[in-house]
Amino acid sequence: MSFVDTLRQWDEAVTCVNRQDFSKALEIFLAIQEPNSKIFFDIGCLHLLNQDFDAAEKAFDCSIRKDEHLAIAFFQRGITFYKKKRYEESLADFQKTFKTLRGNQLIDYKALGLRYILYACDVLHNMALVEAQLGSWEKAQEYLMKALDYKTEARFNIIDKALQSILKQKLFKLVEFQSKELFKPNKHYVAELEKKDYLGKAKVVASVVPQDEFSGFAPLQPQVEDGPTCPKEPVVLRALEGDPHTVLFEFIPETSDELAVVPGNIVFVLQKGADNWAYVVFNERRGLVPYNYLERLEISLASNKNKGITPPPSREPPTRPERIQGLTPSEATSGNHQRQEKQSTDNSCIVKVHFNFNFVVSVPSGSPYTMLIEKIGKKLNLPSSAVTLSLTSEASEQSVISANTEMEKLWSRASGGRVTLWCNTKEEEVHLVALHSYESSNPEDLSFQQGDKIKLLSKINQDWLEGQCNGNTGIFPASFVEEVPANSQ
């Protein structure tokens, strides 16, 4: 699905929500093939509105996988866990929400298309309520006292009433997000959705290249007298990355990470997995295609080969290779992945790990710490030294698991061959130096001068970063900075 199609469906779904037609809006959202983090968030909100907590949890999981810094998604998943009475997981998500606020009093999502302000004091208020549900009244009071430091005039009455309830050891009301408020697509992009006919009616133009099989735009050939008998062939430029292959058979994708192609398309294979799936790029889109549907293509400049037009293959396409459902393209093409826990033994234990997103690993029951930490580190694509495990959502001295921990303590908590852990990572501080000055009037942007040192907070996408400079926090173009080597910081 193209970006324009996604934008059009997103806008149509939001319009349905404005008309209070929530079922139609959800139907349109679920038809979007490659939702971004904001669309997954909108889907989760509609499920939450319908009291479908399991579907809401899955949608918020997907939103967080797409954007690990979307605080409002952690907040909504925390509310979902609270309604499911999974209080420890709810508390962990509210804590991650507060951490993502980075000490700020609030986050205004208006610039990102959501009419909502997430207040730090509201997050602390909900953390206090969860602690009260768990019977930790003193901890709940601590969170509310901390909320007073982040309060605004508009939120003071809520905290004051909660404190009065805590003193009487009574529960109070959860601060909830209005699920009818959704992320909306950029209004400037929506305004450009109307089709414009800049070219008018197409005209048939004969090719000046005999038996031309070049699938692109060839430059206009000069028509002069006494010229060469054979016109110059168009130059075919090789892609910047990948090996060129011709598609032999039509491939219809069954999952969102697969790519639709038809015979005659030229794709560039970036990586080929041991399971006969190839990760390819075609028309600036990337995805998985069975390698046995492709044929290697030798491209040379001004080639004299293949003068005739090759007819499409007449035989049936080969059998679709097996692939583990749900794998990302990087996992599917790594070439060395195993059939994950497919051949589990009777003594294996499923370890559920709470991180920015939840995942599971399988290890033999009673495994040593080194085996467990290595498997989790490999799942997160991080070194074992950067991963910290704990038995509870708060990594206290008593709950943290290390090489010195008696593993019997962990395995004794297993029930029905399952055990739950919490995971944190140690992030190394990265500093950047400004190559050029950057000035912007947008409140969410970070302005700086050439030569300024910037502390990197997060990577928004390939082109934009979030950082801190001279006491200010904001986003800025990645091309304006370069990383400072660790030994010179």
CA–CA separation, 287 vs 260, rounded Å?
9
Query: 106 and 155 share a domain?
Result: yes
| pLDDT of residue 124 exceeding 90 | yes
User: How many structural domains compose the chain?
Assistant: 4
Query: 404 and 267 share a domain?
Result: no
What percent of the chain shows pLDDT beyond 70? 78
Q: Which tokens hold the place of 136?
A: 């930790």
Query: 128 and 272 share a domain?
Result: no
Assigned domain for 21 exists: yes
pTM above 0.85, yes or no: no
Assigned domain for 273 exists: yes
Name which of 428, 460, 357 is nearest 96 in CA terms: 357
Query: 83 and 152 share a domain?
Result: yes
Q: What is the mean pLDDT of residues 23-35?
A: 91
pLDDT tens for residues 150-199?
877 666 688 888 888 988 889 999 999 876 789 988 877 776 665 555 55
The Cα diameter of the chain in Å comes to: 102
pLDDT at 157: 80
Query: 446 and 407 share a domain?
Result: no
Query: 184 and 86 share a domain?
Result: yes
> What DSSP line would sit under 264-332, residue for residue?
T-EEEEEEE-TTSEEEEEETTEEEEEEGGGEEE----TT-----SPPPPP-SPPPPPPP--TT--HHHH
pLDDT tens for residues 305-333?
444 444 555 556 777 777 654 444 444 44
pLDDT tens for residues 250-283?
888 877 778 888 888 889 998 888 778 898 988 8
Assigned domain for 272 exists: yes
On whether the CB atoms of residues 391 and 406 are closer than 8 A, the answer is: no
Query: 368 and 258 share a domain?
Result: no
Query: 444 and 390 share a domain?
Result: no
Query: 421 and 453 share a domain?
Result: no
Its domain, for residue 450, covers 430-488
CA–CA separation, 97 vs 71, rounded Å?
5
Q: What is the mean pLDDT of residues 289-305?
A: 70
CA–CA separation, 335 vs 430, rounded Å?
31
| pLDDT of residue 87 exceeding 50 | yes
Assigned domain for 411 exists: yes
Q: Which amino acid is at 289?
A: V
Query: 256 and 155 share a domain?
Result: no
Assigned domain for 307 exists: no
Choice between 299 and 69, residue whose per-residue pLDDT is larger: 69
Query: 414 and 444 share a domain?
Result: no
Assigned domain for 215 exists: no
* β-pairing verdict for 348-354 and 418-425: parallel
Assigned domain for 222 exists: no
CA–CA separation, 231 vs 222, rounded Å?
8
Of the residues 314, 337, 360, the one at which a domain ends:
337
CA–CA separation, 46 vs 458, rounded Å?
29
Assigned domain for 224 exists: no
pLDDT tens for residues 408-421?
878 888 887 888 88
Q: What is the mean pLDDT of residues 231-241?
A: 47
Query: 81 and 176 share a domain?
Result: yes
pLDDT band at 367 (very low <50, low <70, confident <90, very high): confident
Domain containing 242 — which CATH number? 2.30.30.40
